[in-house]
C-alpha cells in the first residue's frame, strides 16, 4: 500500500502542485480589480435568477406551483453557471497559457483541469447560497442527498470532457469560442432549467409534446441538473430520467450515462492526440 502511494506521488506529485498553483492564480485573477471580488461568483447567478424568476415564473406563469420552485430555479441556474464558467475559461486555457506551457514542462491538460476546478470552487460557493435559501424556504431534505456526490461527479466529468474537446479545437480554430457562445445559449433554453419539466409534460397531456419533453433528459447536462434538483430539493416534484421511463425501458436510462462516458473518454483521447502539436500551432 505504501509503495503504491509513493508511486502515485512520484508520478502525479509535481502535477498536483502545478494544478494547485494554477487554480489559486486563476481564481484570484478572475476577480482582480473588481470591487466586490469573489462575491461576483454568487451575485451573477443570483441576478440571473431574479430576472428569470420574474419573467418566467411571475409573468409567464411557468412554474410547478410549489413553494420550493424558486430554490429549484436557483439551483438549476447555479449548476449551468458552473458548466459555462468552466467551458468558457477552459476552452481558451491552452492558448492563454501558451507561454507558460513552452517555458515549464508539465502535462498540458493541467491548464484545462485548473479552469474546471476553478469553476467547481465557484459552484461550491453557490451551493452554500442555495442551501441557505433552501433552509429559509423550509425544504425537507431526504435520504436522497447521499446520491448527490454521484450527480456532481457525473456533471464534472461531462463538463471536463467537453472542455478538453473544445480546448483542443480552439488551438486550431478560434471560431470555436464564438460558436460555443451561441450554442450554449441554445442548450440553456432547450433544457428544463428556467422552466419546470413537469410544466411541459403536464401541458402535453401525455401526447407527442410530453414524450419530447422526456427526451430532453437524454442530454447528460439536463439529466445531471434534474437529478441534483430531485435529490437535494424536491424529490416529489422534479421529474428525472429514472422516474419518467418504465423498468422495461431501462436501456433509455443508461443513454445519458453512456454519452457522459463517451464525451469524457473522447475528450482525453482527442487532447492527448493533438497536444504534441500545440506549441507548433500557437
pLDDT of amino acid 229: 93
Give the pLDDT confidence of 38-75 residue by residue, as tens digits.
666 667 777 777 777 776 666 666 676 678 888 888 89
**Residue 203 DSSP symbol:** H
Helix (H, G, I), strand (E, B) or coil at 104: coil
* Percentage of the chain modeled with pLDDT above 70: 80
pLDDT of amino acid 8: 43
Q: Which residue has the higher pLDDT, 282 or 217?
A: 217
Of 165, 157, 142, which is closest to residue 91 (Cα–Cα)?
A: 165
* Percentage of the chain modeled with pLDDT above 90: 32
Rg, C-alpha atoms of the chain: 20
pLDDT of amino acid 56: 66
Q: Which residue has the higher pLDDT, 98 or 160?
A: 160
pLDDT of amino acid 148: 95
Of 213, 193, 258, which is closest to residue 57 (Cα–Cα)?
A: 193
Say how far apart CA 156 and CA 120 lie, in whole Å: 8
At residue 193, φ and ψ (nearest 5 deg) are: -105, -55
Say how far apart CA 123 and CA 145 lie, in whole Å: 17
User: Is the torsion defined by CA of 166, 169, 170, 173 positive or negative?
Assistant: negative
Q: Residue 33 pLDDT more than 60?
A: no
Helix (H, G, I), strand (E, B) or coil at 73: helix
Are 268 and 168 contacting, i.e. CB atoms less than 8 angstroms apart? Answer: no
Helix (H, G, I), strand (E, B) or coil at 4: helix
Cell numbers given for 144: 436522497
* Max CA distance (Å), the chain: 63
User: Is the torsion defined by CA of 31, 36, 41, 44 positive or negative?
Assistant: negative
Average the pLDDT over 112-131 and give the result: 89
Q: Scan for cell 479545437, then name that residue.
A: 169
Q: Which residue has the higher pLDDT, 27 or 132?
A: 132
Of the segments 13-22, 105-114, 119-128, which one has the largest average pLDDT value?
119-128
CA atoms within 13 A on the CB side of 25: 10
Q: Residue 240 pLDDT more than 70?
A: yes
Can you give the pTM of this predicted structure? 0.88
User: Is the torsion defined by CA of 94, 97, 99, 101 positive or negative?
Assistant: negative
Res. 192 pLDDT band, cuts 50 70 90: confident
Of the segments 60-69, 104-113, 194-203, 262-271, which one has the largest average pLDDT value?
262-271
Residue 266, C-beta contacts closer than 8 angstroms, at least 6 positions apart? 161, 165
pLDDT of amino acid 167: 94
Amino acid at each position: 500500500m505504501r509503495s503504491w502511494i509513493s508511486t502515485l506521488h512520484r508520478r502525479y506529485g509535481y502535477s498536483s502542485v502545478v494544478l494547485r498553483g494554477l487554480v489559486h492564480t486563476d481564481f484570484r485573477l478572475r476577480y482582480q480589480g473588481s470591487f466586490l471580488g469573489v462575491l461576483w461568483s454568487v451575485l451573477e447567478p443570483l441576478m440571473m435568477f431574479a430576472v428569470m424568476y420574474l419573467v418566467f415564473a411571475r409573468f409567464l406563469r411557468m412554474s410547478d406551483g410549489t413553494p420550493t420552485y424558486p430554490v429549484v430555479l436557483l439551483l438549476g441556474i447555479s449548476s449551468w453557471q458552473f458548466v459555462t464558467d468552466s467551458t468558457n475559461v477552459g476552452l481558451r486555457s491552452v492558448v492563454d497559457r501558451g507561454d507558460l506551457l513552452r517555458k515549464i514542462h508539465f502535462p498540458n491538460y493541467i491548464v484545462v483541469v485548473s479552469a474546471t476546478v476553478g469553476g467547481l470552487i465557484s459552484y461550491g460557493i453557490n451551493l452554500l447560497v442555495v442551501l441557505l435559501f433552501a433552509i429559509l424556504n423550509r425544504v425537507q431534505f431526504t435520504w436522497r442527498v447521499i446520491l448527490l456526490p454521484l450527480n456532481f461527479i457525473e456533471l464534472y466529468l461531462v463538463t471536463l470532457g467537453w472542455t478538453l474537446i473544445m480546448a483542443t479545437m480552439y488551438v486550431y480554430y478560434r471560431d470555436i469560442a464564438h460558436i460555443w457562445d451561441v450554442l450554449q445559449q441554445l442548450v440553456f433554453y432547450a433544457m428544463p432549467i428556467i422552466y419546470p419539466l413537469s410544466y411541459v409534460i403536464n401541458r402535453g397531456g401525455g401526447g407527442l409534446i410530453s414524450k419530447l419533453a422526456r427526451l430532453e433528459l437524454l442530454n447528460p447536462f439536463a439529466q445531471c441538473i434534474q437529478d441534483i434538483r430531485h435529490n437535494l430539493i424536491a424529490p416529489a416534484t422534479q421529474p428525472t430520467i429514472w422516474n419518467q421511463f418504465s423498468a422495461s425501458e431501462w436501456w433509455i436510462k443508461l443513454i445519458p450515462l453512456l454519452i457522459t462516458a463517451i464525451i469524457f473518454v473522447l475528450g482525453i483521447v482527442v487532447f492527448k492526440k493533438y497536444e504534441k502539436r500545440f506549441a507548433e500551432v500557437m
